[in-house]
Chain A
Amino acid sequence: MVNDVLIRTENLTKIFLAKSYGIINRILREKPLYVRAVDGVTIEITRGKTTAVVGESGSGKTTLGRLLVTLEQPTFGHIYFRDIDITRLRGKDLHNIRSKLQMVFQDPYSSLNPVMRIKDIIGEPLRNRGIRGKALEEAVAKIMGEAGLDFSSLAERRPGELSGGQRQRVAIARALITNPEFIVLDEPTSALDASTQAQVLNLLIELQVRHELTYLLITHNIAVARYMSDYTMIMYMGKIFEVGETNTILKEPQHPYTQALIESVPDIGKTELKPPSGEVGSLVNPPKGCRFYPRCPFRMDICREKEPPLIEIKDGIKVACWLYAKH
C-alpha cells in the first residue's frame, strides 16, 4: 500500500490574510483578519489513480490543488512527493520537481495568453527548460496530436480563434508536455458545453492510461467526480469531511454534509431535491466545533464545542463527524 502513494500531506495548512494589512491598519491597531483556506489536511494520493476533491465555493479545494503543485507555499504542514518534502525545495530543485507536477486551470478563456500562438503556449514549459528548435517543434506536434489538436491547422493560431473545448485541449497539452507524473485538474470542464464536456473527460481518461498519470480532480460536480475518479474527498470550509472509494461514498454517504450534497445535485430521473438549510459560513470566523454545525440536521452539543477527528469507520472510508467518533 505504501508504495502506491505518490503524494502525501501532513497537517497541510494555508492561511491567507482576509484583508490587506498595511501600516495604516497597524497604526490604528486593527487586528489582522485571517482565513484558513486549507486547515490541517492530511491525505494520501494513490499513484495512477484519480482522486476527486468535491466541495462548494470556499471549501479550499482549489487552494489545496495549488499547494500540491507548489503554486502556493503552505503556512505550515508538509507535502511529500515520492517521499521528498517538496515544501522545503528552493531554486533549481523546485524548478525540476515542478515539471513533474502540473495543473490544468478552470477557465480556458483566461488561462491562455491571448497574444501567443498555440504552438508557443504549448511549447513554453519545454522552452523554459532549454529545449529549442526542431526538438521543441516535434514535441509540440506530438503532444498536440495526443490531445486531439491538428498541428498543421492550429499551431499558428491564437487562443481567440479556438472553441472552448479546443482551448481546454491546449491547456491539457501544455500540462502534459513536461511529461509530468501528477496533474491537478481544476474544474476542467465547468466552463464547457455539455456536448464538449464528454469529449474532454474521455480525452483525460485516455491520456491517464497512456502516460500512467495520477490526477487530482477538483470539481463541484459530483456526477463528474463519479465518472472520473477512483477515490473522492469531500471538503467543506478547509476541512476534509469524508474520504474513500468514490462508489462507496456515493452509494452510502456517511457524513451528513456528503448526504446533503448528494441530495442537492440535480440528476436526471430525480424529481425532488433535498438541500440542507443555510449557506457556507464565513471563513474569517469559522464555527469553533464542526464547521457544518449550523446547517447540520443531526447536530449534537459536542459538535458545537469540539472539532471531530477524521477517523476510519470502515474499510477505507474516513469520516470527520461526531456521529461516528467516540466523544
Chain B
Amino acid sequence: MALLEIEHLSIMYRTPFGNVSALDDISLSVDKGESLAIVGESGSGKSTLALAIARLLPPNARYVGGSIIFDGVDILRLSETEFRRIRGTGIFMVFQEPATSLNPVYKVKDQLLEALRIRYEREGSVLDETKAVNEIIGVLKDVRMPDPELIIERYPHQLSGGQIQRVMIAMGLLMRPKLYIADEPTSALDVTVQAQILKLLKDLKNEYGISILFITHDIAVASIIGDKIAVLYAGHLMELGDMKSIIDNPRHPYTKALLSSIPRISKYEGKLPIIGGSVPNLLNPPSGCRFHPRCPYAMDVCKKEVPRLIRIDNTYVRCHLYGQ
C-alpha cells in the first residue's frame, strides 16, 4: 500500500527575474517500508520536492497543481495547525547541513526530550523523565552512537558532523514517523562516516519498517540506499523504477549519461563520455523535453513537445524514444 502518493505535482518560485517552474508534473509513490532515492543535479528540483512534502517551502513558492496524499490524506488541503500534527510523528525530515540542524544553546538531551514529549502528547500519555532518558539512550545505542550517556550532556558544537547526523536520525526514531525524508544527509560527511550512516538507515528501515525518501546528487549513493530510484532533471521526472532496472537497464538518455559519466572504482571504462553543455537555467527552460539540448538522440519532436511519462515493464520513462 502506498504511504505517500504524489500526483501531477507542480511547484513554481516567484523571483524578481520571473517565475521559475521548479517542479513540473511529478508523480511518484512510496510504499510502506520502502526506500525511494531521488537523484538529481543542482536545479533538478530534488530539494524542492522534499520541502514540498514536508510543507516547508519558502514563502515565494507556490503549489501550482497536483496532490500529495500522505497516509490517505491530501496534505495540501490541510491547514497549518492540522498539518503540524503530522510533522515529526508522521513525516520527519533530516537536512543536509548537520551543523545547523540542532539548536546550539540546548543540550542534546533536552532537544531529544522535546521530540519525545511531542510524541507522548500526541499519544495522550505523560512523559516520565527518567524513563524518557532511558528510551533516548536506547535509541542512541540503536544508531550506534558511542558513549550515549556522555553525548546527551553535550551541546551540538561539541559533536562531530557524523554524531549530529546520528542524533538527528535518533530524534526521528524517537518520533516514530511513518516517512523519513533525508535531504543529502551524508554529503557533508566523510566517506567512511557516510557509509556508516547509509548502512544505519538501511538497517533501521528493515528493523522499524519506516519508509525513506532519500534525496541525493550521487547515483552511486542512490543505488546503495534506494529500493526504487527516481531521476529528476530540471524539474521533470525523467525515469522512475526499481533500483536494479534503473542501474542495469537505464532507458532514459539522461539516466544513461549520468551512469556512464561518473568514474567508477570497480571497472576501467576508458575515457569518460561527456554530456555536453550544462544544467539549464529554469528561468528560461528549454522547450519540449528539458534535456533535448544535451541529448545525443534528440529528434525534432523533442524540441516541440514535452514527452509523457509512459510505463514500460515496471519503470516509468519520460522520453520520445519510447512509446507511440
Contact = CB atoms under 8 A, between A and B. Distances in A.
B209 interface: no
A262 B191 CA distance: 9
B193 A279 contact: yes
A269 B247 contact: yes
Contact of A57 (B144, B190, B273, B275): B190
A56 B220 CA distance: 19
Interface stretch (B75-83, B171-179, B262-270, B308-316): B262-270
B263 A279 contact: no
B265 A265 contact: yes
A271 B278 CA distance: 30
Nearest to B197: A275
Size category, A interface: 35 or more
A316 interface: no
Contacts of B274: 198-199, 202
A197 B262 contact: yes
Contacts of B194: 264, 266
A56 B262 contact: no
A223 interface: yes
A68 interface: no
Interface string A255-280: 00000111111111111111111111
B285 to A, nearest CB: 15
Contact of B261 (A194, A222, A267): A194
Size category, B interface: 35 or more
A267 B220 contact: yes
B204 interface: no
Contacts of A56: 190-192
B198 interface: yes
B272 interface: yes
B264 A223 contact: yes
A226 B268 CA distance: 8
A195 B258 contact: yes
A250 B265 contact: yes
A269 B220 CA distance: 8
A227 interface: yes
A252 interface: no
Contacts of B294: 195
B103 interface: no
Contact of A264 (B162, B191, B261): B191
A166 B281 CA distance: 14
A195 B253 CA distance: 12
Nearest to A201: B272
Interface in B287-305: 294
Interface string B11-36: 00000000000000000000000000
B219 A194 contact: yes
B76 to A, nearest CB: 30
B191 A198 contact: no
A224 B191 CA distance: 14
B151 to A, nearest CB: 13
A195 B275 contact: yes
A260 B272 contact: no
Interface centre among A228, A264, A273, A274 (most CB of B within 10 A): A273
Interface string A47-59: 0000000001100
Contact of A266 (B198, B258, B273): B198
A220 interface: yes
A221 B194 CA distance: 12
A266 B271 contact: no
A196 interface: yes
Nearest to A55: B190
Contact of B224 (A196, A224, A260, A266): A266
A309 interface: no
A145 B265 CA distance: 32
B178 to A, nearest CB: 26
Given A197-B262, A267-B266, A278 B195 contact: no
Given A250-B265, A266-B221, A267-B265, A195 B192 contact: no
B111 interface: no
A193 interface: yes
A56 to B, nearest CB: 4
B199 A275 contact: yes
B149 interface: no
A201 B269 CA distance: 14
Interface in B195-220: 195-196, 198-199, 217-220
Contacts of A57: 190
A163 interface: yes
Contacts of B41: 193-195
Interface of A: 56-57, 163-166, 193-199, 201-202, 205, 220-224, 226-228, 250, 260-280
9 contacts: A194-B217, A201-B263, A223-B264, A263-B195, A265-B220, A268-B220, A268-B223, A268-B259, A273-B198
Given A223-B265, A265-B195, 11 more contacts: A194-B219, A195-B278, A199-B275, A226-B265, A264-B191, A266-B221, A272-B224, A273-B198, A275-B195, A277-B144, A279-B162
- Ranked nearest first, the 3 interchain pairs of A and B with the lowest CB-CB distance are A275-B195, A227-B263, A264-B195
